[in-house]
C-alpha cells in the first residue's frame, strides 16, 4: 500500500549543486527582454504557449506517463503542454512565496498532494515516468522539494522537470543528476509577471498583455529556438525513412 502523503510543512536541507548538475541545469544563454517601467518582466499567454511548445521535443524524448503540475503557476502550462503531449495531469499545491507579503517563506509549505487510489491518475506514478511542471525556476527550492516528495511518497521510475522559464541566477536548491531538466526559455533574473496574475499587479488582462508586448520587444532568438510550425510538427511525427 502506498504511504500516506506528507501533510506537514518540511524544511529542505539544501546542498551545493555538483558541477555536472550546474552544467546541465544552468545554461548561460538567455533571451534578452526589456523590463517595464516598474522593473518587472511581463509575459503574455502567447509567450507562455510558445515557450511550452518549444519544449515539446525534449518532453517527448523524456516520454512521461503522467504530468504533475505544481499549483498555481504550473497548471496552465501543463494544460498547454497536454495539447501536444496527451498525458493525464495531476495537481499538487506547494507554497514558497507568501501572496500577502510577496516575499519568500523560510520553508516550502505542502498544501495538497495526491493519493494512489486504484483507477485514479495518482496510480499512474509509482514505477512510471513523471514530469513535474511549474512556471518558473527561480531559487529552485520548490522544485527540489517537489522532486524529493515525489520520490519519497510515490517512487516513480524516472522524474523530469519542465519549467516555462529558467532564471539564470545562483540557485539555493538543487536537483539530482538523474532528473531530466527542461526549460522552455532561459531568462534574466527579474520579477516575472504572468497573465493569470494580472489583477494582482493592478492590471486587467488587456493592460497586462500591452506590457508583455513592450517587454517582448527586446527578445532575440535563434531560428532553432522558435516554436515549430505545424508542418515541422508533422515531420517530427513521421517515421524516419529506412
Give the pLDDT of the chain (242 residues) as one tens digit per residue.
444 444 333 444 444 444 434 434 555 455 678 999 999 999 999 999 999 999 999 999 999 999 999 998 999 999 999 999 999 999 999 987 666 656 666 788 888 999 999 999 999 999 999 999 999 999 999 999 999 999 999 999 999 999 999 999 999 999 999 999 999 999 999 999 999 999 999 999 999 999 999 999 755 444 444 555 555 556 555 554 43
User: What confidence score (pLDDT) does residue 8 get?
Assistant: 39
Q: Is the peptide bond before 22 cis (omega within 30 degrees of 0)?
A: no
Phi, psi of 142 (to 5 degrees): -65, -40
User: What confidence score (pLDDT) does residue 95 get?
Assistant: 85
The grid coordinates listed for 85 are: 503531449
Asked about 115 being catalytic, the answer comes back as: no
The answer to whether the pTM exceeds 0.85 is no
Q: What is the rounded CA–CA span in Å between residue 112 and residue 6?
A: 9
Q: Where are the domains of the chain?
A: 28-230
User: What confidence score (pLDDT) does residue 225 get?
Assistant: 47
Are 131 and 68 within 8 A, CB to CB?
yes
Q: Which fold has domain 28-230?
A: Rossmann fold (3.40.50)
Are 82 and 91 within 8 A, CB to CB?
no
Q: Which listed residue (98, 99, 138, 178) is catalytic? A: 138
Amino acid at each position: 500500500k502506498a504511504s500516506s502523503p506528507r501533510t506537514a510543512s518540511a524544511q529542505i536541507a539544501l546542498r551545493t549543486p555538483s558541477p555536472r548538475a550546474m552544467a546541465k541545469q544552468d545554461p548561460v544563454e538567455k533571451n534578452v527582454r526589456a523590463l517595464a517601467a516598474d522593473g518587472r518582466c511581463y509575459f503574455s499567454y502567447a509567450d507562455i504557449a510558445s515557450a511550452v511548445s518549444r519544449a515539446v521535443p525534449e518532453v517527448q524524448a523524456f516520454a512521461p506517463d503522467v504530468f504533475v503540475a505544481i499549483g498555481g503557476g504550473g497548471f496552465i502550462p501543463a494544460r498547454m503542454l497536454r495539447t501536444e503531449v496527451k498525458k493525464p495531469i495531476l495537481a499538487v499545491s506547494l507554497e514558497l512565496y507568501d501572496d500577502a507579503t510577496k516575499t519568500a517563506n523560510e520553508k516550502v509549505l505542502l498544501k495538497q498532494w495526491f493519493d494512489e487510489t486504484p483507477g485514479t491518475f495518482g496510480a499512474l506514478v509509482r514505477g512510471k515516468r513523471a514530469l513535474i511542471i511549474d512556471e518558473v525556476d527561480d531559487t529552485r527550492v520548490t522544485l527540489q522539494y517537489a522532486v524529493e516528495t515525489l520520490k519519497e511518497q510515490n517512487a516513480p521510475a524516472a522524474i523530469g522537470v519542465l519549467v516555462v522559464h529558467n532564471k539564470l541566477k545562483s540557485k539555493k536548491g538543487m536537483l539530482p543528476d538523474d532528473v531530466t531538466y527542461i526549460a522552455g526559455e532561459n531568462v534574466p533574473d527579474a520579477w516575472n509577471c504572468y497573465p493569470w496574475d494580472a489583477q494582482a499587479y493592478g492590471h486587467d488582462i488587456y493592460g497586462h498583455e500591452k506590457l508583455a508586448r513592450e517587454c517582448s520587444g527586446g527578445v532575440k532568438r535563434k531560428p532553432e529556438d522558435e516554436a515549430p510550425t505545424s508542418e515541422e510538427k508533422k515531420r517530427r511525427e513521421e517515421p524516419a525513412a529506412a
